[in-house]
Structure 1
Amino acid sequence: MSSVYHVNLVLIITVISTLVALFSIRFYFSNYYNNLKVPIIKSADINIASSKINQIIKEFLFYNKCSELQVIYENQANYIKTFSGLDRKKKIIYLPKIQFNSVGYELDYILGRIWVACRLYKNNNNIKYYRSITTTFPLFFKIIYYSSVVATISFFIFWQLAPISIKENDFLIFLQNYPVLPSTSLAAFLGIIILFLISQKSKSNLEDFYEMEMTEFIKDNLIGYKEDYLAARVYSRSIPYLLTPIFRTWKQVENQKFLGPFNII
């Protein structure tokens, strides 16, 4: 067999190895998620009334100078990622309910998600950057990656089975002799991994930005719930990951564990 065949075989094995690597990452985080115990915050208030939540939401929108926005806080059929809850045209923030065992977590979740949506609504460059590295660019690289992986494997199999007459096509010869498809797969995989690492390291900066802008609101508007909220903040900051890719086996999200207001599962 020619050296070109052996080179392409090595590249195919490498590309398949990247699939195994992505599977392993997802397996690791699924195991982390399944074993995570969300501590209960000791509080006099186990639940918070819907009327109080609506009042806090209204005050927080006013605090962020986004009173024209409407927040829909209810059970959603599908998971809505942190930076995807804003419908700019309709001026609506979609906020899916998830499982909370303490009032502080619910407040941290609601305020954090609304804060992100308001910053996106006002085209804040910092939040747009976090959205880019966690959502926009990864999606771009994943589309390229999975498309090129399918094309790479398909072409390798096709070339082994194709008759000689078809192999004389100049374009097919080019694809066989120059590893454009596997190289694209590997480059896209590298992009996915780099963005993943950058996102994880940026979590503390995002948390700092959020807390810096929340100081006045907490002092003036969370009377009676301040300690619960601050305890939830400690827990949220203890989660080291901004991205937690897991194997999702459900469509409903209300039983989802709380990993902080910004964590993307």
Structure 2
Amino acid sequence: MPRVRAALPPRRRAGLPDLLAARRRPVRAAADPRPGPGRPARLAAQRPGARAGGDPAAAAFARPPVELPDPPPLPDSPPAAVSVPPAPGVDPAVVEMLVADAAARARAALLGDPVPDYPLWPDTVRWAAAHPAAHARIGSGVDRAVAAWRAAGDEGLDVLEHPWSPPATTMAHARDALVHQEEGVAAEPGAVWRNRWTSGAHQLRYSREGRWHPYREREGQWWPAGPAQRDPVAALQLLQS
């Protein structure tokens, strides 16, 4: 009588969850601290000079903590630019800029300087301001934003793009100081609109951080014209010099 073979279910093709589970199993086995047959001997063979029996946990935890060594001193300057060889689908110049930017931000973080995580547009302007090659790739449409960033970072970009309304007394005191300045030629009364004081081809913009940003008119547009100042008279004198 012929032997009847039971029908077996079709073999299932391994999917992504199966592959991930298969990858994790060896990792768990390697990282599992629980003893197993022959495990201490195997670990001792892998660690030259280590005792086969290991150290009792109580003795290990009873030892006083060891002081970490001081970190090595930072170099005086950022690392030198890297050279990336061309490869299919890879733009070496872009990779080199990414490496240089990451190194500069890492150095700033180690020095304790803030390293903000900017949204897309401010980060684009930051890139163009820090890397002339990136500025050339982006185009001239960001020229004023780049000038503002180079003058005062994200504060400068905010003053360029977003007018706001500071306390009226702040703008009134600044206007009086500008008209009655002790040195140089007295300014005209000027016009005040929100955080901006304008006199002819000169303009001062007051930031939320409490600084005055000098602007100069050029071909019908207002362009950043120097670093921000705490004193509005000092900012105006930058424009008059």
Shared fold, TM over 0.5: no
Give the structure with the larger strand fraction: 2
Give the structure with the larger helix fraction: 1
TM-score in terms of structure 2 length: 0.21
Structure of greater relative contact order (alpha carbons < 8 Å, 6+ residues apart): 1
TM-score in terms of structure 1 length: 0.19
> Which structure would you say has the larger Rg?
2
